[in-house]
Structures are given as C-alpha cells and as structure tokens.
C-alpha cells in the first residue's frame, strides 16, 4: 500500500525537478565565503561584460516571452564580419539549450576560461556571441542561450555542433 502512494509522488517529484521555473522559486544557495581552513576567499573577478538583456518576466510561458533581447542586440549578433587572420578558432563543441531564464546571447563552454567576445558557426550560419566559461573541460559539452539558438534557427531540443572562435579584444 505504501509503495502505491510513494511511487506517484516520486514520479511527480522527478518531473517537477526538471522544471526551469523551480530555479526562480528556489534560488541556489550562495557559495560559502570561507574555505574549510577558515581563510577568506579572494573577491570574485570584476568582469566587464556586454549589457545583459533583462530577465524574462516570472509569467513567461512561450519561447518569445523568454527571449528578451532587443532588435539591436539581435542585429549586432547577426552583423558578423569574420576576420580569419585576427580571430582564433578555439574548437568545435556540442551544445544544448541552456537556461532560458538566463538573458543574453551567449554560450557557456569549457573552451574559454574567462568571458570574452566570440563568434560561433552552425550549419553555414554565424553569429557574434559572448563566450562564457562553463568550468568544465574543453572537450565537454556546452550550453547555448535561447536567443542564440533562435538566431541560428537551431531546433531548441537538439544538441548542435558549433565551431567556436575568439575575437581579439579590439573587436568587442
């Protein structure tokens, strides 16, 4: 009898745990500010990144609701001027949709160790994008933002292979 009651509850819990909106209801705990030895951690690096699009509204339910980039943001991402001599091919990576609640046009990848300007290619299409470190290995998978997937006309449920290029600092 107890199994009949617990099994449906476990299934519901597993289904709900994958819901992206839970992250807004239950934000992740802040990292500890002290190491186990009691020492203070150094302050996080100050990184000047491109201005972010606003986060999606809490009532967002459609793909268009989650994409809060402006027409200007999208135009800048599509205004690709490849300069093979000045950009660096970092490699290819498999990427899936990242958190739709994380605004902006970005890819989180192990191919970079700090936020930098870049470009990605997917099936003959190219967009300018913010390269964010994932903290994973360079040959690990990547996550790509919802607006970036839409600009590439990639299926949102697909795992896509993209080539990742770093742009020189003067092109940011």
pLDDT number for residue 83: 64
User: Which residue segments constitute the domains of the chain, with CATH numbers given?
Assistant: 67-172 (2.40.40.10)
Best CA proximity match to 132, nearest among 144, 115, 110: 115
pLDDT number for residue 62: 82
pLDDT number for residue 64: 80
pTM of structure: 0.63
pLDDT number for residue 94: 97
Assess contact for 165 and 89: CB atoms under 8 A. Answer: yes
Assess contact for 122 and 143: CB atoms under 8 A. Answer: no
pLDDT number for residue 170: 58
- Neighbouring CB atoms inside 10 A of 79's CB total 9
pLDDT number for residue 11: 46
* pLDDT-flagged residues of the chain (< 70): 1-52, 81-84, 170-172
């Amino acid at each position: 009898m107890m199994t009949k009651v617990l099994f449906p509850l476990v299934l519901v819990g597993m289904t709900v745990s994958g819901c992206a909106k839970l992250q807004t209801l239950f934000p992740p705990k802040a990292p500890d500010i002290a190491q186990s030895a009691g020492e203070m951690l150094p302050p996080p690096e100050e990184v000047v990144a491109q201005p972010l699009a606003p986060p999606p509204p809490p009532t967002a339910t459609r793909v268009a609701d989650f994409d809060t980039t402006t027409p200007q943001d999208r135009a800048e991402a599509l205004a690709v001027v490849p300069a093979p001599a000045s950009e660096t091919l970092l490699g290819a990576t498999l990427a899936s949709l990242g958190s739709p609640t994380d605004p902006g046009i970005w890819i989180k990848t192990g191919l970079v160790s700090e936020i930098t300007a870049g470009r990605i290619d997917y099936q003959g299409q190219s967009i300018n994008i913010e390269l964010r470190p994932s903290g994973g290995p360079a040959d690990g998978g990547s996550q790509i933002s919802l607006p970036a997937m839409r600009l590439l006309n990639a299926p949102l449920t697909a795992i896509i292979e993209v080539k990742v290029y770093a742009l020189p600092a003067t092109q940011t």
